[in-house]
Amino acid sequence: MTPHWFTRPLAAGDVGPDVAVVQRKLGAVPDGVFTSGLAAVVRGFQATRGRSATGQVDEDTAAALGEEAGYGRIPDWYGTDQGPGVVADLLGVTSPDDVRDAVKRFQGNSGLPVTGVVDELTARKLGDKAEGT
């Protein structure tokens, strides 16, 4: 089902609140500008879902991203000194060396771009996990 925010195909160079939704869903800073960097992230998202990696948000990609409300709130620990410890606890790892691999597994299992870095979207998903949602 096509999400309500999707009103047009989106590609590099586009600007608007619909682009900001895509950015939030993919863990990018939501400034509403579709850059070549966002296109690369979209390609990664599409590839992880077995779709053609065009870097453009078409109806199929928008449906895979889902409705806007599905990205959760930013947890209080995100961007603080406590963040790494909270992430390790949530993912059940004790060694700092294991955190990156655990984050990659979590991202892959959650349908997120697999980077091993706790970006905003990964933090939101981890926050949902912590709250049991």
pLDDT in tens, 35-94: 999 999 999 999 988 899 999 999 999 999 887 654 556 677 877 888 888 889 999 998
**The model's pTM:** 0.54
Burial class of residue 115, CB neighbours in 10 A (0-12, 13-18, 19+): middle
Which residue in 41, 34, 28 sits closest to 13, CA to CA?
34
pLDDT in tens, 8-52: 999 999 998 889 889 888 888 788 899 999 999 999 999 988 899
